[in-house]
């Protein structure tokens, strides 16, 4: 075997060895090590930041969901049901929000600003919100309360979006305004390092505390 063939085989062997080593390190060792360390150092976050009530998971702190009861705080439009659908009597399939089934996927509808479906959805949401909050006008509703985030799963709303819902929650829950305001304050996140971002209110955290204050649940973890 001449020198050129030996050199070629040596290069091929080296390439294969490097590929296998990197595959093992990046595809197995690193993920296992990272998962193990995260589970050890941050067990709650690594487990999905689950929120429980009476020993059962009722949601995840970092995933927005829909609440329909009048005594619960409303969050941003959520795509938590983007992968769920139902079949009607004619055999046609629809998503749980009533829109036509277009296949399984992940994420929000991602409507363009010019999409008529977005305008229709926002208008319907505004009318429904005003019906449940008769003391408000369209101008009182903050933008974030009617618009979804990029993922469609934002679990937070602005303090103003929480503020305008207090009268409805107080009336429907029977809790005092001071109690509701304290619950909101307890679930308000400040700016990162006091500088970056904006204050946000975790909707699931608020609603779990409301349910506990009303006696609907007794044991919660967040």
Both structure tokens of 38: 């995260």
Q: What is the pLDDT of residues 109-118, one digit of tens each?
A: 667 778 888 8
Q: What pLDDT score does 193 carry?
A: 82
| Beta strand pairing call for 56-60 and 156-157 | unpaired
Residues 21 and 92 in one domain: no
Range of the structural domain that residue 94 is part of: 49-221
Shared domain for 38 and 107, answered yes or no, is no
Task: Identify the pLDDT of residue 97.
Answer: 59
Regarding whether 76 and 171 lie in a shared domain, the answer is yes
Q: pLDDT at position 209, please?
A: 95
Is there a single domain that holds both residue 34 and residue 66? no
Residues 95 and 13 occupy one common structural domain: no
Instruction: Say what the pLDDT of residue 47 is.
Output: 78
Euclidean distance between CA atoms 73 and 209, whole angstroms: 11
Q: What is the pLDDT of residue 102?
A: 62
User: Angle at CA 120, nearest 5°, toward 95 and 206?
Assistant: 70
Instruction: Check residue 171 and give its pLDDT.
Output: 95
Q: For 196, phi and psi rounded to 5 degrees?
A: -90, 140
* Helix 203-213 with 166-173: angle, nearest 10 deg: 30
**Number of domains composing the chain:** 2
Are residues 163 and 141 part of one domain?
Answer: yes
Query: Each residue's pLDDT tens digit in the chain (222 positions)?
Result: 577 777 788 888 999 999 999 999 999 999 999 888 888 888 887 777 888 888 888 888 888 888 889 999 999 886 655 555 667 777 777 665 566 666 655 556 667 778 888 888 889 889 999 999 998 999 999 999 888 776 767 899 999 999 999 999 999 999 999 999 999 999 999 888 888 888 999 999 999 999 999 999 888 887
CA dihedral 18, 19, 20, 26 (to 10 degrees): 100
pLDDT, tens digit (0-9, with 9 covering 90-100), for 92-139: 776 655 666 666 555 566 677 788 888 888 898 899 999 999 989 999
User: Does 74 share its domain with 111?
Assistant: yes
Do residues 17 and 58 share a domain? no
SS3 letters across the chain: CCHHHHHHHHHHHHHHHHHHHHHHHHHHHHHHHHHHHHHHHCHHHHCCCEEEECCEEEEECCCCCCCCCCCCCCCCCCCCCCCCEEECCCCCEEECCCCECCCCCCCCCCCCCCCHHHHHHHHHHHHHHHHHCCCCCHHHCCHHHCCCCCCCCCCEECHHHHHCCHHHHHHHHCCCHHHHHHHHHHCEECCECCCECCCEEEHHHHHHHHHHHCCCCCCEEC
71/123 same-domain check: yes
Query: Exposed, middle or buried by CB within 10 Å (0-12, 13-18, 19+), for 40?
Result: exposed
Residue reference for tokens 């990046």: 26
Same structural domain for residues 19 and 95? no
**Residues 151, 123 share a domain:** yes
Cα(79)–Cα(84) distance, rounded to whole angstroms? 10
Whether 126 and 141 map to the same domain: the answer is: yes
Token pair 């749980």 in the structure block, residue: 96
């Amino acid at each position: 075997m001449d020198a050129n063939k030996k050199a070629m085989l040596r290069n091929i062997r080296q390439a294969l060895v490097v590929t296998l080593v990197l595959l093992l390190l990046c595809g197995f060792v690193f993920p296992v090590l990272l998962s193990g360390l995260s589970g050890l150092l941050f067990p709650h976050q690594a487990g999905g930041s689950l929120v429980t009530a009476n020993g059962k998971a009722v949601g995840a702190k970092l995933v927005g969901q829909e609440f329909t009861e009048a005594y619960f705080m409303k969050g941003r439009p959520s795509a938590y049901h983007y992968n769920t659908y139902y079949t009607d009597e004619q055999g046609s399939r629809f998503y749980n929000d009533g829109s036509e089934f277009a296949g399984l996927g992940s994420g929000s509808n991602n409507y363009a600003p010019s999409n008529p479906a977005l305008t229709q959805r926002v208008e319907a949401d505004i009318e429904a919100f005003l019906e449940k909050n008769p003391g408000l006008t369209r101008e009182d509703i903050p933008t974030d309360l009617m618009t979804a985030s990029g993922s469609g799963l934002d679990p937070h709303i602005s303090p103003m979006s929480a503020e305008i819902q207090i009268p409805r929650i107080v009336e429907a829950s029977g809790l005092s305004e001071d109690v509701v305001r304290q619950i909101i304050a307890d679930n308000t996140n400040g700016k990162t390092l006091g500088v970056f971002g904006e204050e946000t209110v975790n909707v699931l955290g608020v609603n779990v505390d409301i349910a506990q204050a009303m006696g609907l649940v007794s044991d919660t973890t967040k």
